[in-house]
Amino acid sequence: MSLLLAVTSAAAVPHLEKQGTAERLIVNNMPMLLLAGELGNSSASSARYMAPHWSRLKQMHLNTVLTPVSWELIEPVEGRFEWDSVDALIRAARAQNLKLVLLWFGAWKNSMSTYVPSWVKRDQARFPRAQLPNGSGLDILSAFATATRDADSRAFSALLAHLKEVDGDRTFPILIGIWPLNSYKQALRLNNEVPGIVIPASLLKSMESAGASARDRGFAVAREMLAWARTELAGAYLIPPFKRYEEILEIL
């Protein structure tokens, strides 16, 4: 999950606008091309470490910085949120007139559960791990544990509430990532074998029932999600299946 946090003056909510056969990002009522650089996974955990780098990012003629916000830093004790790391990012970006794309490192990051709080890591009864067929555990939280889902959701909701409080006079749109499903077999594999990905049972059933037309069903769902994102969110970023970029055109 990612957020684009605008750290300039308040205006209309950033959104995607149709422009011919393409779409463009509108920020502060003006088209914006993101000239972005991404920080290392743990770089933003230290404001002192980052202090000399913000001016260098600006000197590189960037207008946007992608930076993680990790669950372990904002909720070190369950129910007690600490916002020093987030607030330091916002202040530093404002000082350089940069925008932030916040990357949520919650229960999973690239399938691994590296950035969860220690109280989650220690309580494997409440937050069970994914397991190999031989029963050995992995450093990956199970995607089927409701306690994990709920705890991650509470932390992310708290982050959004804090951003509204400290940056409410500005705007931060939420975008959703959409990956069109090519087949029932692919959907089943993602659901069963990739930690952090859960395909709704109703969608799996409909793709199985579609048979040879499963791809059409998968792409129809992607189009439905994109239409929803256009009205309910600031927009979406589309993930080409297996780097077949031309297939994205089918859902636009």
Taking residues 198-222, report their average pLDDT. 91
Give Cα 122 distance to the centre of its chain: 25
How much is the pTM?
0.66
Beta bridge partners of 175: 2, 235
Q: What is the pLDDT of residue 162?
A: 94
179: Cβ contacts below 8 Å, ≥ 6 apart: 222, 239, 241
- Please tell me the least confidently modeled range out of 9-18, 54-63, 243-252: 9-18
Tokens of 106: 């919650």
Highest mean pLDDT among 77-81, 167-171, 185-189, 237-241: 77-81
Taking residues 130-139, report their average pLDDT. 88
Tokens of 158: 């708290």
Report the alpha-carbon distance of residue 180 to residue 215 in Å, rounded: 8
Report the alpha-carbon distance of residue 210 to residue 217 in Å, rounded: 7
Whether residue 84 has pLDDT greater than 90: yes
DSSP letter at 80 equals B
- At the top level of CATH, the class of 2-172 is alpha beta
Tokens of 113: 């559960």
Mind listing the pLDDT tens digit for each residue in 168-177?
666 556 677 8
The angle that helices 201-210 and 184-193 make with each other, rounded to 10 degrees, is 150
Whether residue 5 has pLDDT greater than 60: no
The angle that helices 184-193 and 214-232 make with each other, rounded to 10 degrees, is 60
Q: What is the pLDDT of residue 110?
A: 81
Q: What is the pLDDT of residue 53?
A: 95
Q: What is the pLDDT of residue 32?
A: 81
Residue 245: other Cβ atoms inside 10 A: 10
pLDDT band (50, 70, 90) for residue 141: very high
Q: What is the pLDDT of residue 239?
A: 82
The domain ranges of the chain are 2-172, 178-252
